Amino acid sequence: MISILLAQRLQIGNEPIEGPLQGIDTIGDLVSKLMEFATPFALIILFFVFVWGGYDLLLSQGRPEKIKSAKAKFTTGIIGFALIVSAYIIAFLFKYIFNLGNGAI
């Protein structure tokens, strides 16, 4: 019964249901699937880091330690954004260099 639940393709009646790992044949396909999930998730977290930093800055009331903490959150967010962009660029370069076709982005 467990093997049926873990299958990547099920047939229920006349309707086939395919799992999320269907069609992964190469490492490029795997990277593409991971990036489809990881990039939007990272951008959502990045948005909340910026909101949190802005909230802390607004409520700092001029206290230097609170302002420093808020600026650290903004710095962390900028570094995170740079990492997201660089990961996307590196994946694109690998796609171009190794001629992966449809994979990697």
pLDDT of residue 104: 47
- Residue 5 lies inside a defined structural domain of this protein: no
**Residue of 45, 24, 25 lying closest to 33 (CA atoms):** 24
Q: At residue 93, does pLDDT exceed 70?
A: yes
Letter for the amino acid at 6? L
Residue ranges making up the domain that contains 83: 24-98
Span of 19-28, 30-39, 43-52, 60-69 with lowest mean pLDDT: 19-28
| Torsion angle of C-alpha atoms 81, 82, 85, 87, degrees rounded to 10 | -110
**Number of folded domains that form the chain:** 1
Residue 10 lies in a domain: no
Tell me, yes or no, whether 55 lies in a domain. Answer: yes
